[in-house]
Amino acid sequence: MAYSEKVIDHYENPRNVGTLDKEDANVGTGLVGAPACGDVMRLQIRVNDNGIIEDAKFKTFGCGSAIASSSLATEWIKGKSIDEAATIKNTQIVEELNLPPVKIHCSVLAEDAIKSAIADFRAKQAARLALEQA
């Protein structure tokens, strides 16, 4: 299969590969996909007190399109508020990377990864709030 130039670029120079401390209260972690399906994405965000995503990191097990989708996702969400980041749609990723139909699931996974990281962060915040109020 021929890859689009943008996929190759993200694949060869992935942005924001790495790991944030998942125990940190300001870090949200999303782990989506399954090894048996051939793709697993872990996307992490560090959110500051103003609700802005200061940093984002990913690691992905998957094909080139999956790696590119998660790399792009981290690039897009950095500097956005979590509410804004939550509005990113997989179709935008498909468009940006010129993904062919068989690779659409990679973009879906990247959207899920963002949502899942945000949900994790919010759950942590809620738990902390509950603790403070208790």
Partner 1 sequence: MTLKLPIYMDNHATTQADPRVVETMLPYFTQVFGNAASRSHSFGWSADEAVATAREQVATLIGASKAKEIVFTSGATESNNLAIKGVAHFYRDKGNHIITTKIEHKAVLDTCKRLEVEGFEVTYLGVDKLGRIDPEDVRRAITDKTILVSVMLANNEVGTIQPIKEIGAITRERGVLLHSDAVQGVGKTPFDVEEMNVDLASLTAHKLYGPKGVGALYVRRSRPRVRIATEMDGGGHEFGMRSGTLNVPGIVGFGKACELLTAEWRAEAERFRGQRNHLLDLLTSALDEVHMNGSFEHRLPNNLNLSFGFVEGESMLMAINDVAVSSGSACTSASLEPSYVLHAMGVTDDAAHSSIRFGLGRFTTDEEIEYVAKLVIEKVRKLRDMSPLWEMHKEGIDLTTVQWTAH
Using CB under 8 A, which of 45, 56, 63, 117 touches partner 1? 63
* 63 catalytically annotated: no
Task: Return the residue of 15, 20, 28, 39 that touches partner 1, per CB under 8 A.
Answer: 39
Q: Applying CB under 8 A, what is the total number of residues that bind partner 1?
A: 32
**Is 106 in the active site?**
yes
Half-sphere exposure at residue 93, Cβ-oriented, CA atoms within 13 angstroms: 33
Asked if 6 interacts with partner 1 (CB under 8 A), we say no
- Cross-strand pairs, 30: 43
* CA dist 78 → 8, 36, 48, 52, 131 (Å): 21, 30, 11, 8, 29
The one among 3, 28, 90, 96 contacting partner 1 by CB under 8 A: 3
51 lies in the site for partner 1, by CB under 8 A:
no
Nearest CB to partner 1, comparing residues 3 and 76: 3
For residue 31, CA distances in Å to 55, 109, 117 come to 17, 10, 8
Active-site annotation, residues: 37, 106
